[in-house]
């Protein structure tokens, strides 16, 4: 009787732990898809759907498993460990060396396979608990409770510990080790019921050793795969709580990538940042108080420090690690000219939308230097609701400058952003500039009052922008000028109707 209670307890503990591993693999695949394939909402939706579908298939397959239930469970865990453990490692290799589309096929296939194996686990454990003497109602209820509770724990572990501390590749190997440990532990608990259990244990030990090697060496090898995704050598790489930060450098060209998207190249970033900063400042009579939404690299601050009449600069960036890197990494510090080393720069590590909702300050100049709207969280920062908050924080006579992606490569996206800004009552002027590392790039200048672009009189020392050039930036070719489209294909982007994500993805998938 006591032995049966011990075995039953072991089954419940095993079900909880493997459930934790299952949910971690599930969200891990979503995170990997988001990083490599883009469009996080789409990737999480597909991977979670495929994983759950796989679990359903696995539940059906489990009906065929009628003998040697514990041994079957052990080998299922071994398979999950091997396939899941090497999943992200191989995914980076597939992305680096095989043709486009193969990475998506591989990811979705692995998700379905691991989901199917996960779906076989719990029915087997329920039936084993029932064999030992538990009633079906009791065994099913307790195993399912362990499963659901384990799902919560697994999700929290991934978000707060595994992903930020270990990254995608090492996390997969670490979780695989747990699967193997559970399998071997349960094998020992039921050793009297399993013929040649030591052989199965030794084989598990061999798999454990291989996976352990992956923990120590897999990330280094995957780094070589990741290097293939970038043109230049990677000099810095970090997975933070919010994004993957990568710096590359070749022949003096420093490039920053966030989640695989280029943010700047040191060879021409001054073209971007001078356009972002100087027209807005010059159109503001007293630009004493400046707000930068985004701009954690400090390059916009560098341009603002050229003005003696600016008294305070507030930078709102979600990721504190990006700020820290911009303060300490010698290449970025050299590029931003020690931008954060001044008393009148204040830093807020918050979501820009929430900052505007919670803050009541008024600013003379607002610079919106945010990544493109390629997912739900970023799309929120290009909505009517967001620009209404921006307007409410803008002082009379103040000026807003918005980076608004490329009017050439994402024409409808650019003009939809312009229409959304105008819907707040702000007056706008459209600018675009050639930035070699980006191509043709668009900006939207906005004020509460009517204004004339000819009033731009830049007095700061610049490398690129001139007063005459600003006037030239307002001219668009007939093939990309949708300002007089009368709204035929343009919509206002809102929280309820986030039209930019689909437009953005469709526009850039050809480049």
pLDDT of residue 134: 57
Cα 34-38-40 angle, rounded to 5 deg: 50
Taking a C-beta distance cutoff of 8 angstroms, is the pair 30, 44 a contact? yes
pLDDT of residue 374: 81
Tell me: pLDDT of 140 over 70.
Answer: no
Tell me: pLDDT of 184 over 80.
Answer: yes
Model confidence at 127, pLDDT cuts 50, 70, 90, reads: confident
**What is the rounded CA–CA span in Å between residue 490 and residue 435?**
26
pLDDT of residue 510: 62
pLDDT of residue 110: 95
CATH of 267-508, one of 3.40.50.150, 3.10.20.30, 2.40.30.170, 3.40.950.10: 3.40.50.150
pLDDT of residue 363: 98
pLDDT of residue 504: 86
Tell me: pLDDT of 461 over 80.
Answer: yes
Tell me: pLDDT of 240 over 60.
Answer: yes
Phi, psi torsion values for 346, nearest 5 degrees:
-115, 140
Residue-wise pLDDT for 255-311, tens only, equals 999 988 899 999 999 999 999 999 999 999 899 999 999 999 999 999 999 999 999
Mean pLDDT for 147-160 is 80
Out of 259, 369, 372, 418, pick the active-site residue: 369
pLDDT of residue 222: 78
Residue-wise pLDDT for 9-31, tens only, equals 888 788 888 889 999 999 999 98
Residue-wise pLDDT for 213-233, tens only, equals 999 988 888 777 777 778 789
Taking a C-beta distance cutoff of 8 angstroms, is the pair 322, 245 a contact? yes
Residue-wise pLDDT for 113-122, tens only, equals 999 999 898 8
pLDDT of residue 396: 95
Residue-wise pLDDT for 411-451, tens only, equals 999 999 999 999 999 999 999 999 999 899 999 999 999 99
pLDDT of residue 4: 67
Residue-wise pLDDT for 29-84, tens only, equals 998 888 777 767 778 889 999 999 999 999 899 888 878 888 999 999 999 999 99
Tell me: pLDDT of 187 over 60.
Answer: yes
Query: If we measure between CA atoms, which residue out of 243, 239, 379 comes closest to residue 319?
Result: 243
Taking a C-beta distance cutoff of 8 angstroms, is the pair 431, 410 a contact? no
Q: Which residues of the chain does CATH 1.20.1250.20 include?
A: 2-227
pLDDT of residue 239: 81
Taking a C-beta distance cutoff of 8 angstroms, is the pair 445, 283 a contact? yes
Taking a C-beta distance cutoff of 8 angstroms, is the pair 493, 379 a contact? yes
CATH architecture under which domain 2-227 falls: Up-down Bundle (1.20)
Residue-wise pLDDT for 371-383, tens only, equals 998 877 888 999 9
Query: If we measure between CA atoms, which residue out of 260, 257, 499, 304 comes closest to residue 401?
Result: 304
Model confidence at 153, pLDDT cuts 50, 70, 90, reads: confident
pLDDT of residue 12: 77
Task: List alpha helices for 366-495, DSSP H.
Answer: 376-379, 384-392, 411-422, 467-472
The chain-wide mean pLDDT, for the chain, equals 89
pLDDT of residue 257: 92
Is residue 369 flagged as an active site residue?
yes
pLDDT of residue 272: 97
pLDDT of residue 358: 93
Taking a C-beta distance cutoff of 8 angstroms, is the pair 21, 245 a contact? no
Query: If we measure between CA atoms, which residue out of 502, 391, 386, 406 comes closest to residue 449?
Result: 391
**What is the rounded CA–CA span in Å between residue 239 and residue 31?**
11
Residue-wise pLDDT for 309-360, tens only, equals 999 999 999 999 999 999 999 999 999 999 999 889 999 999 999 999 999 9
Name the CA dihedral angle for 392, 395, 399, 403, rounded to a multiple of 10 degrees. -30
**What is the rounded CA–CA span in Å between residue 160 and residue 165?**
8
* Helices and strands, counts by H and E, the chain: 18, 11
pLDDT of residue 135: 58
Tell me: pLDDT of 129 over 60.
Answer: yes
Phi, psi torsion values for 510, nearest 5 degrees:
-90, 0
Mean pLDDT for 161-178 is 91
């Amino acid at each position: 009787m006591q032995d049966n209670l011990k075995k039953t307890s072991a089954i419940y503990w095993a079900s909880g732990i493997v459930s934790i591993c299952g949910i971690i693999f599930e969200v891990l695949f979503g995170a990997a898809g988001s990083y490599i394939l883009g469009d996080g909402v789409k990737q999480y939706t597909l991977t979670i759907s495929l994983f759950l579908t796989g679990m359903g298939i696995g539940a059906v397959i489990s009906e065929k498993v009628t003998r040697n239930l514990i041994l079957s469970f052990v080998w299922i865990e071994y398979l999950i460990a091997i396939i899941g453990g090497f999943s992200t490692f191989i995914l980076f290799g597939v992305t680096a060396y095989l043709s486009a589309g193969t990475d998506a096929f591989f990811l979705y296939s692995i998700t379905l396979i691991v989901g199917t194996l996960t779906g076989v686990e719990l029915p087997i454990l329920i039936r084993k608990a029932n064999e030992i003497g538990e009633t079906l109602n009791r065994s099913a209820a307790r195993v399912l409770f362990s499963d659901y509770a384990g799902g919560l724990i697994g999700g929290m572990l991934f978000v707060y510990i595994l992903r930020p501390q270990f990254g995608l590749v090492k996390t997969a190997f670490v979780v695989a080790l747990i699967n193997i440990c559970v399998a071997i532990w349960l094998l020992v608990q039921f050793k009297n019921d399993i013929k040649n259990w030591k052989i199965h244990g030794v084989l598990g030990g061999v798999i454990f050793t291989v996976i352990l090697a992956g923990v120590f060496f897999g990330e280094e090898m995957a780094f070589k795969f990741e290097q293939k995704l970038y043109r230049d050598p990677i000099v810095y790489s970090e997975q933070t709580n919010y994004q993957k930060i990568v710096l590359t450098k070749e022949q003096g060209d420093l490039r920053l990538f966030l989640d695989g998207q280029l943010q700047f190249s040191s060879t021409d970033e001054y073209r971007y940042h001078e356009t972002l900063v100087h027209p807005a400042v010059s159109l503001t009579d007293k630009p004493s108080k400046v707000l930068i939404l985004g701009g954690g690299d400090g390059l916009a601050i560098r341009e603002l420090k050229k003005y003696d009449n600016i008294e305070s600069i507030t930078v709102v960036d979600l990721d504190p690690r990006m700020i820290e890197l911009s303060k300490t990494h010698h290449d970025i510090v050299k590029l931003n000219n020690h931008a954060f080393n001044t008393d009148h720069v204040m830093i807020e590590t918050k979501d820009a939308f929430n900052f505007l909702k919670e803050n009541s300050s008024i600013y003379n100049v607002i610079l919106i230097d945010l990544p493109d709207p390629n997912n739900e969280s970023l799309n929120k920062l290009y909505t009517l609701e967001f620009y209404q908050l921006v307007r409410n924080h803008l002082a009379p006579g103040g000026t807003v400058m918005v980076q608004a992606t490329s009017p050439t490569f994402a024409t409808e996206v650019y003009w939809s952003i312009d229409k959304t800004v105008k819907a707040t009552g702000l007056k706008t002027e459209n600018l675009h500039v050639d930035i070699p590392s980006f191509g043709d790039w668009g900006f939207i200048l906005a004020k509460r009052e009517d204004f004339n672009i000819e009033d731009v009189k830049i007095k700061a020392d610049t490398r690129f922008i001139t007063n005459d050039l600003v006037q030239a930036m307002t001219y668009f070719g007939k093939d990309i000028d949708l300002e007089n489209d009368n709204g035929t294909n343009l919509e206002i982007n809102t929280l309820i109707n986030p039209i930019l994500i689909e437009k953005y993805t469709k526009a850039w998938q050809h480049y």
